Amino acid sequence: MTYKEALQKYGTDKPDLSYGLELKKIKHLFLRKCDDPNFEAYLIPFPKKIEKVVKSKLSDQVMELAIKYVAKIVMPDKMRKEFGSYFVERIQEIIGESNSCIIAMTKTEESTCLCLGELRQSLASLLKSKNLLKINENVEPFWVIDFPLFVNGKNGLETCHHPFTAPHPEDLHLLDTEPLKVRSLAYDLVMEGNEIGGGSVRIHDVKLQEKILKMLKIDGGTLTHFLNALKSGCPPHAGIALGIDRLVSLACDAESIRDVIAFPKSHDGKDPLSGAPNVISEEDKKYYHIVSTEKSNDDKDAKE
């Protein structure tokens, strides 16, 4: 599944395919906004029979998401007043008579879908509690591909994965003109809404690597050793990191990944088994060739 498809259908780059609740694009219904690049509209359907429960349980989250994504979110009870009867009838044709929906509108497709993606998870939990969600028990892991190479950051372009990720060969011509449209050769392995692996094909051409670093405003001088290695003739290569702990937690149906980690850390970052982090003895420091800051300063003072 491509990143774009995952975002448009499920509002996340690691969708849970064990249930439906797919997002639907409805920008075409807003005739005056159809050609507006700064407007996007999607909806998420759910059974009409739980409209009141959805309003009471999710109203606070809807308000939070509206602020987070600078979104206009319209609940079912406000739809007719907001858009009129004809619009509601068109919506009903799209989702079916037995369904209701929540509509979200923002300036970009990404923010609109991410907003509804968070609501999708909450709706799923709510429907599960009412035994109204059909679950597919035979969902297999799948790959999410074609992630964007760049995203918009506070200070310009930022990398979506890491600055050594190779751009998609078919999109190289867009690097100078439309960098945000460039896809990357990154990939994630996803299962039941969890990323259980991720990696990418790396850049092996030094000129392309220098260009990407420049676009990201990263000082290539700090990576001279790496760039010199590329100049020496680095072959095409790729990598992946597998989340074994995450995979085991899914297999065990664990409530938390900490239940299956060999040495889980507490919330304050401590290891209950080994007691780390802790003060170590002078003997251990000597064994590991560790010199304390205080001691090194004392020696310096003594020499002076």
Q: Is the pLDDT of residue 205 over 80?
A: yes
CATH of 19-129, one of 3.40.50.261, 3.30.230.10, 2.60.40.420, 3.30.1360.30: 3.30.1360.30
Q: Tokens at residue 239, please?
A: 């990598």
Q: Is the pLDDT of residue 300 over 70?
A: no
Q: What is the model's pTM?
A: 0.84
- Least confident window among 17-21, 184-188, 287-291: 287-291
pLDDT-derived band at 276, boundaries 50, 70, 90: confident
User: What does the pLDDT look like over 24-55, one tens digit per residue?
Assistant: 999 999 988 889 999 999 999 999 999 999 99
Locus of tokens 């600078």:
70
Helical pair 51-68 and 76-83, crossing angle rounded to 10 deg? 70
pLDDT averaged over every residue in the chain = 92
User: What does the pLDDT look like over 148-173, one tens digit per residue?
Assistant: 999 988 888 999 999 999 999 999 99
Domain 142-246 has CATH 3.40.50.300: no
Q: Is 43 or 233 the better-scoring residue by pLDDT? A: 43
Domain ranges for the chain, please list them: 19-129, 142-246, 273-304
**CB contact at 8 A, 14 and 117:** no
- Least confident window among 65-69, 71-75, 96-100, 295-299: 295-299
User: What does the pLDDT look like over 110-121, one tens digit per residue?
Assistant: 999 999 999 999
Q: Is 88 or 272 the better-scoring residue by pLDDT? A: 88
Please give the pLDDT value at position 236.
92
If we measure between CA atoms, which residue out of 83, 68, 161, 82 comes closest to residue 116? 68
